[in-house]
A and B are shown apart, each in its own frame.
Chain A
C-alpha cells in the first residue's frame, strides 16, 4: 500500500473548496480558511508537489458539443488477453475515457461519448475486434449524472 500523505484540516478545507470551484481565488480561499493568501499558496503548492492535486477539469453538458450519447463499457477478457497492451491501445488509439483495469464482473471498464448510435457502434466494434476481448457490455446513460463530489471524504483512513 502506498504511504498516505499528511493532510491537515486546512488542507482538506482547501481541497473541498477547490472541488466546489477549481477557480476559487487565493484571496477567497484565504478568507474562508482563516489564513493568509501566502499560506494558501504554499499549501496548494505543497499539495501539487505531493501529487494530491493533479490538475483541474471542466464539467460541461457534452450534448452542446454534439455528443448526444454517453455510455459505460464493461469488457470481459479471455485468459489469453494482454491487459496492459489493451489498456495502452485504448488510451492511445481510441477516444475511450478512463479506461481502467478492473476486478469483478468486468476485467476492463471505460466510458465513451459518441455523436450518434452509429459512432457508438463503431467504438464498440473496435473494442470487440481486439485480441482477448470476449464480451463487451454497453450501458447507455439516460439523463445527466447525479454527483455528490462536494461530499468527498478527504481523510478516509483517519476516521477509523
Chain B
C-alpha cells in the first residue's frame, strides 16, 4: 500500500458512496487511477464492504442491545457465535477476551423486542449467562465517528508514506 491507497481509503471512510470522479478530485489524481486502485484494494481484501449508513430511529428502532454472553466452560464458543450470527438483525457477534466470552449487538424497537432478543440469544448453544446493556445510539451499521477516526488514521498513514509514487504505475 502506498500514499495514494491510504488517501483513497481515507476519503472512502468519510463517504463510501463517493464517485471515482469525486475521489480523484480530492486526492489529486485521475478517476481511472482511482478505479484501478479501488479494484486492487477490493481484490486484496482491504476494502471488504461498503455499507449505506441509516438512522435507525427513523425506522422505529430505539437503540441497540449490547449483550455480554458467558458460555459454559469447556464448551465451544464458535458454535455459539455461529448460531448468533444467523439471528435476524445481528449487527455484531464476536468472541471476546475479558469478563465475558461473546459480545453481541442488535438493534431493538421496544421492550417486547428486547425480551424476544434475549430469549433468542439464550437459545444459542452453550450459553450460560446473558448480561444486558442498551445503547441509545441508533446509527446503522455504526456511528459516523467510526469513519472519522479511521479516516484520520489512514490520512496519518498516507502522510508517513514516502511521497514518491510507486513504480507499479
Instruction: Decide: B96 and A149 in contact? CB cutoff 8 A.
Output: no
Contact of A139 among B100, B139, B157 (CB under 8 A): B100
Q: A51-B55, A102-B66 are in contact. Are A148 and B87 (CB under 8 A)?
A: yes
Which residues of the partner chain A approach B50 to less than 8 Å between Cβ atoms? 21-23, 56-59
Chain B residues touching A, majority SS: mixed
Nearest chain B residue, comparing its CB with the CB of A151: B88
Q: What per-residue 1/0 map shows which CB atoms of A49-77 lie under 8 Å from chain B? A: 01111111111111011110001101000
Nearest Cβ on chain A to B144's Cβ, whole angstroms: 6
Nearest Cβ on chain B to A52's Cβ, whole angstroms: 5
Nearest Cβ on chain A to B32's Cβ, whole angstroms: 17
Interface membership of A143, Cβ < 8 A? yes
In the complex, how many residues of chain B place their beta carbon closer than 8 angstroms to a beta carbon of chain A?
71
Nearest Cβ on chain A to B59's Cβ, whole angstroms: 6
Q: What per-residue 1/0 map shows which CB atoms of B128-168 lie under 8 Å from chain A? A: 00011111110111111111011001100100000000000
Which residues of the partner chain B approach A22 to less than 8 Å between Cβ atoms? 16-17, 50-52
Interface membership of B49, Cβ < 8 A? yes
Interface membership of A34, Cβ < 8 A? no
Interface membership of A42, Cβ < 8 A? no
Interface membership of B115, Cβ < 8 A? no
Q: How far is the CA of A53 from the CA of B136 in the complex (A)?
A: 18
The residues of A with any CB-CB pair to B shorter than 8 Å are 1-2, 4-5, 7, 15, 18-19, 21-23, 50-62, 64-67, 71-72, 74, 91, 95-106, 109, 111, 113, 137-149, 151-157
Question: Can you spell out 28 A-B residue pairs with CB atoms less than 8 angstroms apart?
Answer: A15-B52, A15-B54, A18-B52, A22-B52, A23-B17, A55-B53, A57-B146, A57-B147, A58-B150, A59-B48, A59-B49, A72-B103, A97-B142, A97-B143, A100-B64, A100-B137, A101-B136, A102-B134, A103-B136, A105-B132, A109-B133, A111-B142, A137-B98, A139-B98, A141-B97, A142-B97, A155-B60, A157-B109
The residues of B with any CB-CB pair to A shorter than 8 Å are 1, 9, 12-13, 15-17, 45-55, 57-62, 64, 66, 68, 81-82, 84-100, 103, 107, 109, 113, 131-137, 139-147, 149-150, 153-154, 157
